[in-house]
Amino acid sequence: MAAVEKVKAERLADLGGWELYRLALENDDDVVSTIALRRGAGGVDYGVWHRKDAEPSATGALDRAAESGWDDDAREATLQEILAIYAAQMPELRGGVVFAIDGAASAEDGGRDDA
Predicted pLDDT at 2: 57
CA atoms within 13 A on the CB side of 99: 18
66: in domain: yes
Tens of pLDDT, residues 39-90: 987 899 999 999 888 899 999 999 976 667 888 999 999 999 999 999 888 8
Do the domain assignments include residue 109? Answer: no
Please give the pLDDT value at position 115. Answer: 33
What is the domain count for the chain? 1
Is residue 57 assigned to a domain? yes
Note whether 24 and 98 are within 8 A (CB): no
**pLDDT mean over 91-115:** 65
Whether residue 27 lies inside any domain: the answer is yes
Q: Supply the range of the domain harboring residue 57.
A: 7-103
pTM across the whole model = 0.82
Q: CA–CA separation, 14 vs 20, rounded Å? A: 6
Predicted pLDDT of residue 3? 67
